Amino acid sequence: MTAPKQVAKNIIDSLPEDTSYDEILKELAFDKMIQNGLKNSNDNKTISNEEMKNKIKQW
């Protein structure tokens, strides 16, 4: 597993030089959300499409 600091550095290094601070933060947050989703999926912490449809209807 890659250390979080190295992951963040890789993400930042992949962005254009003129990237704003806010854009960097958004990219880091997006990556974290993706990683959390993949971990939840691997840990079988998911819900069915039907369950999600019901949750959305309650919004």
pLDDT tens-digit series, residues 19-50: 999 999 999 999 999 999 999 999 999 999 99
CB pairs under 8 A, 24+ apart, for 24-31?
31/7
Helix, strand, coil percentages in the chain from 3-state DSSP, rounded to 5: 75, 0, 25
Q: What is the pLDDT of residue 44?
A: 96
Please name the residue that has the structure tokens 């449809």. 53
Q: What is the pLDDT of residue 40?
A: 97
Q: What is the pLDDT of residue 1?
A: 62
- Residue 8, pLDDT > 90, answer yes
Q: What is the pLDDT of residue 58?
A: 95
**Which residue type is seen at 58?**
Q
Token pair for residue 11? 């993400």
- Residue 2, pLDDT > 90, answer no
Q: What is the pLDDT of residue 38?
A: 97
